[in-house]
Structure 1
Amino acid sequence: MDGEIQALNELTQHSSKRPPPGGLSDLAFGSLAGMAGKVVEYPFDTVKVRLQTSSAQVFTGTLDCLRQTWANEGFGGFYRGLTSPLVGAMAENAIAFYAYNRIQQLIRQVTGIPKDSALGLPQLFASGGLSGAICAFVISPVELVKCKLQVEHVPGNAQQAGVKFKGPLSVVGHLLRTEGLRGLYHGIAPTVARETLGVGFWFGTYELVCRQLLMRTGRGNMSKDALGPGSIILAGGCAGIAYNVTSYPIDVVKSMIQTADVRAKDAEKGTLSRKGVMATARAVYAAGGIPAFYRGLGITLLRAFPANAAMFMTYEYLSRLVVR
């Protein structure tokens, strides 16, 4: 083990690194990567959000949620509200990859690390975390709209809550009329916390797995260009798992805050939508203890591997075309 750690440290300090694409390429490739990942993951995400924001009386579990969604809404129910998050995913990933690479460049300038030397893993985790914090301000309104649309058609919600949306623009219009611009950022605090932690682990885990794979195949002094599609799929999938495992409890709190006015039970009380992060977290705990913070995690991890593998595959191979 000590030998592997030492070898990994040497790799961190001395391995060559493919220069990142230019700014416009980062934005374009990140956007396409986000679109690919979102199309793969969205049906799983719909089930996740519905499980997060509903009690066991509504859905007994993942399979029951799948069955009810199919029976009540058909195939389209799994993609309800896709437009907003698809645009958001494209913007989020474009900014994430752009910021991630630019922050690395800034770290090199400040620390004097040469361009052809890889950054240390702590620096990569930090770069990912900072890029996630920036992305949070872009995706928070998008996720707010998405979550409301995803849970509106859960049995009983629309009828009892008195809220009915025709689509993303309907949600935006309702929020602007009732709460103003501030309403679009309901849940921004947990979104920032989730993205800072999650994206840090997302990029950090991806880089760590790639380096381990290069080291184990005797190519530790080479860049990620030496890795084949199977390795990129593995690294990207592991990155998605790491993102969700580390940030999932925060995501549950965020979803509860953002859907309080749509969910029938809480709309009747008229109070949860005004609660902050800690009050909402206490309410989640009171309703189901620690397991309540992980309700829907299974379906989330199931979607995380293929969706994030698709994202990193898209970004990596488009980047290689430009560099070559």
Structure 2
Amino acid sequence: MATTPPPQAVAIKPKSSAMEALEDIIYGSIAGIVGKYIEYPFDTVKVRLQSQPSHLPLLYTGPLDCFRQSLRSDGLSGLYRGISAPLFGAAIETSSLFFFERLGRDAVLRLGLARPDHPLPLPALWFTGAFAGVFTSFLLTPIELVKCKIQVPAPSGGGVVALRPLPVIRDIFRHQGLRGFWRGQLGTLIREAGGCAAWFGSKETATKLMRDGNVRAAAAGTEGEQRRAREDPLPLWQQAVAGASAGMSYNFLFFPADTVKSRMQTTPIGAEGGGRGFGAETAALWKEAGVKGFYRGCGVTVLRSAPSSAFIFMVFDGMKKYLPMQ
């Protein structure tokens, strides 16, 4: 009686660096766009609160008042004003963060700071986040400059003029040249380097804590349950908690740098204070409003970052796992 030969083991070809990079770019872009749609109305409120001139009576008493006034004057569409540039920016930002973070991991391994057959230690993951943030900041500043000018247009008569990206870009170039697109770069650099270290680091720290908890809970179970606790993806709710903690850490820890950057980018070209640098703008805000001025809009920003960041990581990690490119 003939016997069936045993099935041949199929060798899994390791994914090439090019495919890893392509996944980072495509899946990161999709995740960033999803997150931006969720957070954009809150971001508009945050920028409007940050950009209020402290030497004049405040336009808004807080986030809820800003929401009410914005809805009353412009409707829901007003909270999404200028979203085309931010959607492009979110795709660039998120894909760049995941792309450069992976390059940071490669650099850590090449320098011999971690073993390739072991997960990277948490301090290394905080470093790779900062590494990604530094490079991403240079791509992000021009996009955020256009976004902020659209979100907080200069008043004209009894209302505001709805701005579009191309006229804003032409106006910046005409008055300040190519260099003008990087106004606020130092603020973006501080926010992205420190914030992205916290973004990736907090996510990985929370993931490790919950993974360890799952392993301890499965210790009395079967061998299969213990293996799944060690190797399987975290339950969906735990992934959401890890992603939310990342977004909240990113936005809270370096919010003052973002406030100064937003003030620099929303000051009309040629207006008083329009040419102040990061240090001078920081000193001016401190003199006008003290510590409180640096945290205008912080609450609404941290609030909106939780679901947005949770969805970004869940979409990106899910696509990497279930839609791998070979």
The TM-score normalised by the length of structure 2 is 0.85
Contact 2:137 2:192 (C-alpha < 8 Å) held by counterparts? yes
Q: Distance in 1 between matches of 2:298 and 2:146?
A: 21
2:32 paired residue number: 34
The CA deviation at 1:105 is 1.4
Q: Distance in 1 between matches of 2:164 and 2:74?
A: 15
1:106 paired residue number: 107
The CA deviation at 1:107 is 0.8
Q: Distance in 2 between matches of 1:172 and 1:133?
A: 24
The CA deviation at 1:223 is 6.5
Matches within 5 A, 1:111-130: 111=112, 113-130=114-131
Match of 1:236 among 230, 238, 243: 243
Q: Distance in 2 between matches of 1:111 and 1:240?
A: 30
Matches within 5 A, 1:240-251: 240-251=247-258
Deviations along 1:104-142, one digit per CA (max 9) or x if unpaired, are 012112116333311111111111001001110111001
Contact 2:215 2:230 (C-alpha < 8 Å) held by counterparts? no
Matches within 5 A, 1:20-169: 22-54=20-52, 55=54, 57-111=58-112, 113-152=114-153, 157-159=154-156, 164=161, 166-169=163-166
2:289 paired residue number: 288
Contact 1:165 1:171 (C-alpha < 8 Å) held by counterparts? no
The CA deviation at 1:321 is 1.1
The CA deviation at 1:197 is 0.5
Identity over the aligned pairs, expressed in percent?
A: 36
Q: Distance in 2 between matches of 1:297 and 1:273?
A: 24
Unpaired runs of 5+ residues, structure 2, are: 1-14, 217-225
Contact 1:35 1:90 (C-alpha < 8 Å) held by counterparts? yes
Structure ranking higher in helix proportion = 1
Q: Distance in 2 between matches of 1:223 and 1:176?
A: 54
- CA separation of 1:223/1:253 partners in 2, compared to 1, >3 Å: closer, same or farther? farther
Q: Distance in 2 between matches of 1:306 and 1:19?
A: 32
Bigger-Rg structure (1/2) = 2
Q: Distance in 2 between matches of 1:44 and 1:256?
A: 17
Q: Distance in 1 between matches of 2:128 and 2:203?
A: 13
Q: Distance in 1 between matches of 2:231 and 2:245?
A: 16
Deviations along 1:159-193, one digit per CA (max 9) or x if unpaired, are 27x99563011110111111111111111111111
Q: Distance in 2 between matches of 1:298 and 1:197?
A: 19
The CA deviation at 1:23 is 1.1
1:201 aligns with 2:198: yes
Q: Distance in 1 between matches of 2:231 and 2:194?
A: 24
Deviations along 1:5-62, one digit per CA (max 9) or x if unpaired, are xxxxxxxxxxxxx999711111111111101110000000000000011156211111
